[in-house]
Homo-oligomer: A and B are copies of this chain.
Amino acid sequence: MSRDLTIGRVAEAAGCKVQTVRYYEQIGLIPAPPRTSGNQRVYDETAVHRLTFIRHARELGFPLQAIRDLISLSDHPDQSCAAADGIAKAQLGEVNRRIQSLIALRHELEHMIEQCKGGKIKDCRVIEVLSDHTLCETDAHDAAAPMAQPPSAG
């Protein structure tokens, strides 16, 4: 078990970028770690733990604000679980809405591609469907619930 990790090691272990770690520190999502005599950050395993937590939550689509709430929750382990549960449930609702929307979008795209089998643009359904209001009366219109954009899982 290695203590005294550099920011690069921590970032690698947690699966995020060095800049992202510094950014999370800047916005107060992780505490500022101690520094070496040469001013470089020194982390331990708990930083990896918390960054991994954050990454997972981001991958699950939680906005940073929700993650902030979850973290403050987890810092008070004797409180009721209900708040964390509520956050997860709200997130589940978002995810379900997103899935519905995307399925509608997929139908529309498949339809567009189906129609567009070689030919000139003036006959191209891709352009036409996008241009014409009446041709796309699927539920695609209530798409795009205002949710966190997904992190680039790099």
Q: Which residues of A contact B (CB under 8 A)?
A: 49, 52-53, 56-61, 70, 73-74, 76-82, 84-85, 87-89, 91-92, 95-96, 98-99, 101-103, 105-106, 108-110, 112-113, 116, 118-124, 126-127, 129-131, 133, 136, 140-147, 149-153
User: In the complex, what distance in Å separates the CA atom of A117 from the CA atom of B145?
Assistant: 27
B102 touching A88 by the CB < 8 A rule?
no
Instruction: Tell me the minimal C-beta distance from A148 to chain B in angstroms.
Output: 8
User: In the complex, what distance in Å separates the CA atom of A79 from the CA atom of B122?
Assistant: 8
Contacts of A150 in B (CB 8 A): 101, 143-145, 147, 149
Closest 8 CB pairs of A and B: A149-B149, A144-B150, A77-B122, A84-B126, A81-B124, A92-B109, A144-B153, A146-B152
User: In the complex, what distance in Å separates the CA atom of A130 from the CA atom of B85?
Assistant: 12
User: In the complex, what distance in Å separates the CA atom of A118 from the CA atom of B83?
Assistant: 10
B153 touching A143 by the CB < 8 A rule?
yes
**Partner of A121 from B58, B74, B110, B133 at Cβ < 8 Å:** B74
User: In the complex, what distance in Å separates the CA atom of A32 from the CA atom of B102?
Assistant: 33
A127 touching B74 by the CB < 8 A rule?
yes
Given A85-B116, A149-B149, 10 new contacts (CB under 8 A): A53-B130, A56-B130, A58-B144, A70-B127, A78-B120, A80-B118, A82-B118, A85-B126, A88-B116, A146-B152
